[in-house]
């Protein structure tokens, strides 16, 4: 606020000096009009900056209120309306939150699953195409724990669950633990253990259909696996270097990929690594698009899994999985931003690549390549749109080919956030899936979503 007042005083002083300097001469009508236009432009700029500062201050006040409410000492001094959660231990804060989210989805073709589709199913003669469904499985429950400090590290943990069952492709309700981990963090290091998102290729498109998020359409990573993760942040003038590594379970917990019979890990964890460089910082006072100047990341994953037959139809065998991803984002203007990824993988269903396929019928690994891109535009601070496209294709070097050959998704949406706790979203998508034997199907879908956060 003080900075804005200083700007206003400087503008006023400049206009006063300009007026005194011209006092010896009678200004013309044209000169007077120019001065009025300049004053109006400066006034509009000041009002815009004041509004941005008010919005930023409101967000900071809300964050500070919630953080203070999580501590035992601060909770006692919080307003009576502030939420309080007790703990068995002193100096331990607990925040309980989440979101209530309802979606209405209408599709022009049969998709799997029907509420948050990943692929389009082949058409069946005589069967009506398209579905309509009201769904609440994207709602979330969140518990964040802020513990004591130990040896210069802040201890804490997070539990977040959604209303899906154990397998997202089943389309059934349940309580699905998205993340559940403990961590120790300081300004340079982060060590975490538990169920977490992949280190590999973490970037996601901004879709109303945030659960599928073009998985199987060129967007690998973003699955949840038990892992031990270490991160190192290096601050460099003008930017930040992030180094990440993890030992992770070989099988995903949120999507069960199809295989010949059954799959399991080989007793060895997957290795994941990522290096990312961020230039600049997110500054909502000068830009509505919440992106840094630019960011680029390179990640890789390697591991193995075992395929076996419950009926002993064939001997068990191990398959090596691997993949590499290049990702990036750039803020093109205060309102416009661009982001995307490219990847290449081998037997990469565990990381949502290869259209969820691992091996072919003759036990050869399914190879895959894909990527996605998204253009984001902010109409104003509380309204923005995103347009994107992604595609995944698969093949095999053996005689047998994957059952699903290609999968692609295009989307366009608009978000409106009338309050800090409310978001309304409308999204149109087009999906096309190609199967072996030159069989394909495509269709449009429309999703309307309302979300109330608490």
Distances (CA, A) of 253 to 203, 244, 259, 366: 19, 21, 15, 20
What pLDDT is recorded for position 337? Answer: 98
pLDDT grade for 19, boundaries at 50, 70 and 90: very low
Q: Tell me which residue of 348, 439, 346, 454 sits closest to 396, measured CA to CA.
A: 346
What pLDDT is recorded for position 73? Answer: 36
Q: Does the pLDDT value for residue 167 go beyond 50?
A: yes
Q: Does the pLDDT value for residue 97 go beyond 80?
A: yes
- Which of the residue ranges 132-141, 246-255, 263-272 would you say has the lowest mean pLDDT? 246-255
Place of tokens 């006063």: 16
- Say what the pTM is: 0.77
Q: Does the pLDDT value for residue 421 go beyond 70?
A: yes
Give the domain ranges of the chain. 2-70, 99-129+188-453
What pLDDT is recorded for position 81? Answer: 42
Give the residue with greater pLDDT, 337 vs 127. Answer: 337
Q: Does the pLDDT value for residue 34 go beyond 50?
A: yes
Find residue 181's DSSP bridge partners: 158, 194
What pLDDT is recorded for position 79? Answer: 40
Find residue 31's DSSP bridge partners: none
Average pLDDT, the chain: 82
Domain made up of 99-129+188-453: CATH architecture: Beta Barrel (2.40)
pLDDT grade for 310, boundaries at 50, 70 and 90: confident
Determine whether 228 is exposed, middle or buried from the number of CB atoms within 10 Å of its CB (0-12, 13-18, 19+).
Answer: middle
Q: Among the residues of 366-425, which ranges form H helices?
A: none
Torsional sign, CA 186, 192, 197, 202: positive
pLDDT grade for 54, boundaries at 50, 70 and 90: low
Q: What are phi and psi of 46, to 5 degrees?
A: -65, -40
Give the residue with greater pLDDT, 98 vs 307. Answer: 98
Is the CB of residue 302 less than 8 Å from the CB of residue 319?
no
What pLDDT is recorded for position 385? Answer: 98
Taking the C-alpha atoms of residue 263 and residue 363, their distance in angstroms, rounded to an integer, is 12
Locate 136 and state its tokens.
């609440």
- The beta-strand segments (E) located in 287-316 are 294-308
Taking the C-alpha atoms of residue 64 and residue 274, their distance in angstroms, rounded to an integer, is 32
Place of tokens 């300004």: 187
Q: What are phi and psi of 179, to 5 degrees?
A: -135, 150
DSSP labels, 240-276? EEEEEEEEE-SS-SS-----SSEEEE-SS-EEEEEEE
């Amino acid at each position: 606020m003080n900075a804005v007042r200083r700007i206003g005083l400087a503008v006023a002083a400049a206009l006063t000096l300009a007026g005194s300097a011209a006092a010896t001469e009678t200004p013309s009508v044209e000169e007077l009009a120019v001065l009025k236009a300049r004053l109006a432009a400066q006034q509009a700029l000041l009002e815009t900056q004041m509004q941005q500062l008010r919005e930023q201050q409101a967000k900071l006040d809300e964050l500070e209120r919630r953080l203070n409410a999580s501590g035992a000492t601060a909770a006692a001094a919080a307003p009576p309306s502030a939420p309080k959660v007790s703990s068995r231990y002193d100096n331990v804060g607990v925040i309980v939150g989440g979101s209530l989210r309802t979606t209405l989805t209408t599709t022009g073709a049969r998709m799997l699953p029907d509420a948050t589709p990943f692929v389009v199913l082949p058409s069946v003669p005589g069967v009506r195409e398209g579905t309509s469904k009201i769904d609440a499985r994207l709602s979330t429950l969140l518990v964040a724990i802020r513990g004591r400090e130990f040896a210069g590290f802040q201890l804490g943990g997070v539990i977040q669950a959604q209303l899906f069952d154990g397998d997202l492709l089943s389309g059934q309700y349940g309580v699905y633990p998205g993340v559940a981990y403990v961590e120790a963090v300081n300004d340079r290091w982060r060590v975490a253990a538990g169920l977490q998102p992949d280190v590999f290729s973490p970037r996601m498109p901004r879709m109303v259909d945030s659960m599928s998020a073009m998985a199987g359409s060129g967007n690998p990573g973003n699955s949840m696996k038990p892992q031990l993760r270490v991160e190192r942040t290096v601050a460099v003038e003008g930017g930040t270097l992030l180094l990440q590594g993890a030992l992770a379970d070989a099988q995903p917990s949120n999507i069960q990929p199809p295989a010949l019979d059954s799959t399991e890990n080989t007793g060895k964890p997957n290795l994941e690594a990522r290096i990312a460089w961020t230039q600049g910082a997110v500054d909502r006072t000068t830009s509505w698009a919440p992106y840094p100047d630019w960011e680029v990341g390179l990640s890789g994953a390697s591991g193995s899994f075992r395929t076996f037959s419950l009926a002993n139809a064939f001997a068990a065998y191990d398959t090596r999985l691997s993949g590499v991803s290049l990702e990036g984002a750039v803020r093109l203007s205060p309102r416009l931003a661009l982001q995307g990824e490219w990847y290449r993988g081998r037997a990469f269903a565990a990381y949502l690549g290869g259209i969820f396929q691992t091996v072919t019928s003759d036990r050869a690994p399914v190879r895959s390549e894909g990527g996605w891109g998204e253009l984001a535009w902010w109409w104003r601070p509380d309204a923005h749109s995103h347009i994107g496209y992604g595609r995944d294709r698969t093949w095999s070097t053996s005689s047998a080919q994957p059952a699903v050959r290609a999968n692609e998704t295009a989307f366009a949406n608009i978000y409106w956030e009338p309050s800090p706790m409310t978001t309304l979203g409308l999204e149109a998508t087009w999906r096309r899936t190609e199967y072996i034997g030159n069989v394909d199907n495509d269709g449009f879908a429309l999703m309307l979503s309302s979300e109330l956060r608490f």
